[in-house]
Amino acid sequence: MLAIALAAVAYDAVVWPAFAVAEIPAIASRQRAEKRAFTDSQIIDGFLKTAFGAEHHLAGRVDRIRKYQTPVRVFADGNRSDRKAQVAKIVTDIAKRVQHLDIAMVGTGDSANVLVKLVRDRDLNRTITKFYGRERAREIQGSLDPQCLSGFRKNEKFEIEHSDVILTVDSSDFIFMDCAYEELLQSLGPINDTASVPWTMFNDNVSMGFFGIYDQYILNLLYDPRIKAGMTVAEVKEVLPAVLVDVRTWVKKVNNLAE
């Protein structure tokens, strides 16, 4: 990845245990068991823990909101048409469930600000080195031993300008979907993993394979127009109560949640 002035790269990786859309049994069972009701404090706690900070960061401050302030266009680069179709399905699902996020697939890398690189497992380390450089790649691989990875580049206003998502295609459908959902969502801003929130996929101990209710709250809060790139925790807390009221209405509507 080319460095640019006043830019920082944050990255997150998923290290999967031995196990990994409704037609995938492992996902369907998790959807049936999904917790669907949360208190305001539970939602706000998870939002603040994932939208601020970074599990691993290479440069720059991490105490500000980071998000796209422009339309998000995703390009999947690789030879597996089935995996490309799954990425497109995920992007369509995210677009449906995040009210104020303009996200869609595009047909060329030149028109994309999110690049999804689909690689064989044997090519992962070489791809990480190509994207991040040898020194940073050693740091990532030494501390994380990742099977999938996402990172973004932000400007001095904490606006995300470009994201890279690296996914291995050799895994099962469940692991691929789980990895792709998490990394695509984290490439949009909530880069910080947390082990203290049990309902989010941004927890290394949680595998879901779908865009759950709790994470829809997080992404809808982040992409509400009142939450702006560069805001501090204190600034966000001032507007969160009002934003959460509207986000609850949207998440309830799009998921057909009961009263």
Rounded Cα distance between 123 and 37, Å, is: 41
Rounded Cα distance between 16 and 147, Å, is: 7
All residues at 6 or more sequence positions from 184 whose CB lies less than 8 Å from its CB, including other chains = 74, 87, 90, 91, 94, 114, 116, 150, 165
- Determine, yes or no, domain membership for 134: yes
So what's the pLDDT on residue 59? 42
- Determine, yes or no, domain membership for 1: no
So what's the pLDDT on residue 38? 95
Rounded Cα distance between 173 and 169, Å, is: 9
Structural domain containing residue 76 = 8-254
- Determine, yes or no, domain membership for 88: yes
Rounded Cα distance between 104 and 71, Å, is: 8
Label residue 33 exposed, middle or buried (CB < 10 Å: 0-12, 13-18, 19+): exposed
All residues at 6 or more sequence positions from 138 whose CB lies less than 8 Å from its CB, including other chains = none
pLDDT range class, residue 135, cuts 50, 70, 90: confident
All residues at 6 or more sequence positions from 13 whose CB lies less than 8 Å from its CB, including other chains = 56, 140, 144, 146, 147, 148, 149, 150
Query: Looking at residue 65, which CATH number applies to its domain?
Result: 3.40.390.10
- Determine, yes or no, domain membership for 259: no
pTM of structure: 0.86
- Determine, yes or no, domain membership for 125: yes
User: Per residue in 20-60, pLDDT tens?
Assistant: 355 789 899 999 889 999 999 999 999 999 999 765 444 44
- Determine, yes or no, domain membership for 59: yes
- Determine, yes or no, domain membership for 185: yes
- Determine, yes or no, domain membership for 3: no
Q: What's the structural domain count of the chain?
A: 1
